[in-house]
A and B are shown apart, each in its own frame.
Chain A
Amino acid sequence: MSGLAAGIRLAHFGKRVCIFERHNAVGGLNGFYSIAGRKYDVGLHAMTNFVRAGVKGTPLGKLLRQLRIDRDEFALCEQKRSRIAFGPRGETSLAFTNEFAIFESEIAAKFPAQIDGFRRLLAVVKSFDEVSLDAKPVSARQVVRQHISDPLLEDMLFCPLMYYGSAQEHDMEFGQFVIMFKALFLEGFARPLDGVRVILRVLVEKYRATGGARRMKCGVKRIVAREGRAAALVLDDGSEVTADHVISSVGGPETEQLMQVEPVVPNGLSAKIGRLSYVETITVLNRQPAELGWGDDTIIFFNDSPRFAYERPDAQVDLRSGVICLPNNFAYPEGQRLPEGLFRCTCLANYDRWAQLPEAVYQADKKRWYDAITAGAQRFLPVLPKADALQTATVATDMFTPRTITRFTGHLAGAIYGSPIKNRQGRTELANVYLCGTDQGFLGIVGAMLSGISMANYHVLNGK
């Protein structure tokens, strides 16, 4: 997605652009796929950064302008309501919507002693320049603790922000925290009825209209370095292409691997490879989740333990915390709804514990964890009238693991949010190779597109 955005910018201003994609479909981590005639979004729960028409100076508005996209083309529908639920059965709950005042009043009601501190933190967040390309890294935990003294509220603020974009365990860089805080709380959630493919279709059409070329099922195998520059790209089919500039959206460590002439020793890169990966279960229902008895919450971030641990688990999966998404619960236009119910649960997972399993064991483990994850997540949803209500409503299921992520996206260690070390300027060891996408450090779908735009502007278009 970041690559498409970069391509649109460059092609619009007359550069000759070609995008190489190893997969047979566009989108990468924000793609979609079909099984048995059903279309599934890869990872999208919701597009963050949603603001209504007329709200200016936010990331969504910037990307629409930069890509010359009319906001109606994305056909975004807003979330109904989401919540952060902490405690063994989610006893402490903070609701939030696309109206920030709701969240603020929830905090004032549930944490009256913290509301002044929260408002001070809010002022710091609002005045922070999070898109600066050369900001110094600061611990977000430290900054937040200057204003919030209750660890429960601190963890409840961090949980959604980490789950929706942090590649770092335990803490975030404050700039990343600000990006996510604005994206989730001050802006909000929305999605097109038909999911991420609507957004991808707009981008692909725009890219084609500006004259950009695409080669699908044709990955880049190697970047040939000569005198500190990329001299050529070797493609999967063995052919070579040359270019003045190369923008890589495969990730930071992954790009470094491509630039090596000798086979790489994985250990040399290990500090840069993300440790966080995820499993996600997808349950397709024969009715809307609300008809099942689950209400109309859109997204629920949960944690059952005294402290929230955002870290690679020792076990295959960490059931203590996670995210539930009910994509049916967006405010779609009158008379429109998703034809089937969808229930998605995401939990933290350990890549190493999934990567090397023999196929039969892998399939059995998936089945076992599917049951455990969906059961665990239901602790944070209204209790269903009958014990087998979910089972009888289920018409299909799917699940991705860290292994699935690496297989289809090439991201090392199944690290959806990439490397914990972000590279804001997108520079690499080669003077004409630049990074865009998650490892450049803008997060989420809107962040991915802005990353491609910024890198195309900064390295290729500016003043040249």
Chain B
Amino acid sequence: MTNDEIKKVVIDIISDIAPDEDTSNLKPDVRLREQMQLDSMDFLDIVMELRKRYGIEVPEAEYIKLATLDSCAEYLGPKFAALGK
């Protein structure tokens, strides 16, 4: 998966979790929490949706790596690659 595809995966998940947030103009290098009202329950859901949809595990200590769309792509890229995606 390309970085842009991974970002789209994350945006799709956020749109499903928080349909009341506008995800159309997210800046890739700014923390997601600064651009939308997401709390810890929402972040936990992003992690769990990644597991449910793609079988990707994100340990609690590494949640911080999902802070921005850029960091999501960087962190999740190898995980998707390991799954052959």
- Does A360 sit within 8 A of B, measured CB to CB? no
Tell me, in angstroms, the Cα distance from A463 to B37 when the chains sit together.
23
Number of A positions contacting B (CB below 8 A): 19
Q: Check A56 against B20 for contact (C-beta < 8 Å).
A: yes
B45's partner among A54, A66, A71 (CB-CB below 8 A) is A66
* CB neighbours of B19 from chain A (8 A): 70
Q: Which of B16, B41, B48, B60 contacts A62 (CB 8 A)?
A: B41
Question: Is chain B's interface secondary structure helix, strand, loop, or mixed overall?
Answer: helix
Asked if residues A13 and B52 are in contact (CB atoms below 8 Å), the reply is yes
Partner of B48 from A13, A57, A68 at Cβ < 8 Å: A13
Interface bracket on B: 10 to 19
Number of interchain pairs (Cβ within 8 Å): 34
Complex interface bits, B39-73 against A, C-beta within 8 A gives 1, otherwise 0: 10110110010011000000110000000000000
B60 adjacent to A463 (CB under 8 Å): yes
The docked-state distance in angstroms from the alpha carbon of A66 to that of B19 is 11
Give the residue name and chain of the A residue nearest to B42 (CB): A65
Across-interface contacts of A333 in B (CB, < 8 A): none
Say if the beta carbon of B11 comes within 8 Å of chain A.
no
Given contacts A13-B48, A13-B52, A461-B48, contact A57 B39 (CB under 8 A): yes
Docked-complex contact A54 and B20, CB < 8 angstroms? yes
Known: A12-B52, A66-B41, A71-B20. 13 other contacts (CB 8 A): A13-B48, A14-B52, A54-B20, A56-B37, A57-B37, A62-B39, A64-B20, A65-B17, A65-B42, A68-B17, A70-B19, A461-B48, A463-B60
CB pairs A–B below 8 angstroms (19 shown): A12-B52, A13-B51, A13-B52, A14-B52, A56-B20, A56-B37, A57-B39, A61-B20, A62-B41, A65-B17, A65-B42, A65-B45, A66-B41, A66-B45, A68-B17, A70-B19, A71-B20, A461-B48, A463-B59
